[in-house]
């Protein structure tokens, strides 16, 4: 319970004492057609940081799909300690919550046709949100917040590949910054591309 109070303090009061903030914008497309946008914000205060990922998309896939997505992930140093992922769509609303408790993570994930209630009994130092601000050099695994799964990271010649619940996603970096991510999708992969200033 004590740790939970600390985490809540970080989430709700971190923005008040900001020392640094980084903001990125991305376009989301399928087959070259824009279907939405994504923003990624990282706020840093001392050893604590918070990453906020938001996206809104709309496209046709056997009917109109509309999706609002938000993940808030909190770190103490590089230790991932909490995430809250919320999805609102015309297919239903879903939520995944991961919280570090003393020596393990409590995981409760509810996604489209997917549920997971489990514990992960080790610390993890990278998450899906981290990819938008750090190149995963020497990173072997990460927490996929939306599914509550710890997944491997594989380095290839020009990208990093991850497998999340059977979906292979690729991340490409230029000068240490994420340039684009290619996400596996049943009809055609969708691309998250960084906007140029």
Q: Is the dihedral of CA 11, 134, 71, 68 positive or negative?
A: positive
Tens of pLDDT, residues 14-58: 444 446 789 999 999 998 999 999 999 999 999 999 999 999 998
pLDDT at 113 over 90: no
> 116 or 18: whose pLDDT is higher?
116
Model pLDDT, residue 7: 44
Q: Which residue has the higher pLDDT, 143 or 111?
A: 143
Q: Which residue has the higher pLDDT, 197 or 23?
A: 23
First to last CA, the chain: 44
pLDDT at 4: 44
The C-alpha atoms of residue 144 and residue 51 are separated, in whole angstroms, by 14
| Confidence category of residue 112, pLDDT binned at 50, 70, 90 | confident
* SS3 annotation, 4-69: HHHHHHHHHHHHHHCCEEEEEEEEEEECCEEEEEEEEEEEEECCEEEEEEEEEEEEECCCEEEEEE
137 vs 178: CA distance, rounded Å: 12
In tens, the pLDDT along 130-153 reads 999 999 999 999 999 999 999 999
- pLDDT averaged over every residue in the chain: 89
């Amino acid at each position: 319970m004590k740790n939970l109070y600390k985490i809540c303090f970080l989430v709700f009061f971190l923005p008040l004492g900001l020392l640094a903030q980084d903001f990125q914008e991305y376009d989301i497309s399928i087959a070259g057609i824009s279907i939405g946008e994504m923003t990624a914000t990282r706020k840093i205060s001392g050893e604590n940081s918070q990453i906020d990922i938001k996206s809104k998309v709309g496209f046709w896939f056997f009917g109109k799909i509309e999706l609002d997505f938000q993940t808030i992930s909190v770190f103490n140093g590089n230790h991932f300690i909490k995430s809250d992922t919320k999805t609102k769509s015309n297919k239903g609303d879903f939520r995944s919550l991961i919280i570090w408790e003393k020596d393990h993570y409590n995981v409760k994930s509810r996604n489209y046709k997917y549920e997971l209630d489990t514990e992960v009994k080790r610390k993890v130092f990278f998450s899906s949100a981290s990819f938008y601000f750090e190149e995963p050099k020497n990173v072997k695994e990460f927490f996929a917040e939306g599914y509550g799964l710890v997944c491997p990271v594989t380095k290839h010649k020009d990208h990093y590949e991850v497998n999340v619940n059977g979906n292979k996603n690729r991340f490409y970096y230029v000068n240490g910054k994420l340039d684009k991510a290619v996400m596996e999708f049943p009809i055609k992969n969708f691309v998250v591309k960084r906007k140029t200033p």
